[in-house]
């Protein structure tokens, strides 16, 4: 639970020891800047980014149901049926 918003959240944690490359650091910073500007019902919200000595932690809106990757892994031959594909495609297009 996120104390500031009183909402259930998901944490995305980047270990600084794995961010030694300049490009990797830039990529994480870019992700944070972009997420701060986004506001759409089909994009998880970023509530805050916290930096500790060892980690960069993104506090994000919790979205039930898992990832699209996990969803595909649960399907035969990793293919979704047409109805699911249509629903997800509409959400992605709406967000874009």
pLDDT computed for residue 6 by the predictor: 87
CB atoms within 10 A of CB 49: 19
| Start-end of H helices in the chain | 22-37, 68-73, 82-95
Decide if pLDDT at 47 tops 90: yes
* CATH class of this structure's domain 1-64: alpha beta
Domain ranges of the chain: 1-64, 65-96
Q: How far apart are CA 9 and CA 81, in angstroms?
A: 30
pLDDT computed for residue 94 by the predictor: 92
In which band, very low, low, confident or very high, does the pLDDT at 50 lie, cut at 50, 70 and 90? very high
Decide if pLDDT at 93 tops 90: yes
For 7-17, what is each residue's pLDDT tens digit?
Answer: 899 999 999 99
Among 3-7, 37-41, 56-60, 82-86, which is the least confidently predicted range? Answer: 3-7
């Amino acid at each position: 639970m996120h104390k500031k918003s009183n909402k259930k959240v998901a944490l995305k944690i980047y270990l600084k020891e794995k961010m030694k490359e300049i490009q990797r650091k830039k990529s994480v910073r870019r992700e944070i800047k972009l997420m701060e500007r986004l506001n759409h019902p089909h994009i998880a919200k970023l509530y805050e980014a916290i930096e500790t000595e060892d980690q960069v932690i993104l506090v994000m809106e919790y979205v039930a149901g898992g990832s699209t990757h996990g969803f595909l892994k649960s399907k035969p031959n990793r293919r979704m049926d047409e109805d699911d594909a249509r629903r997800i495609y509409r959400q992605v297009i709406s967000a874009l």
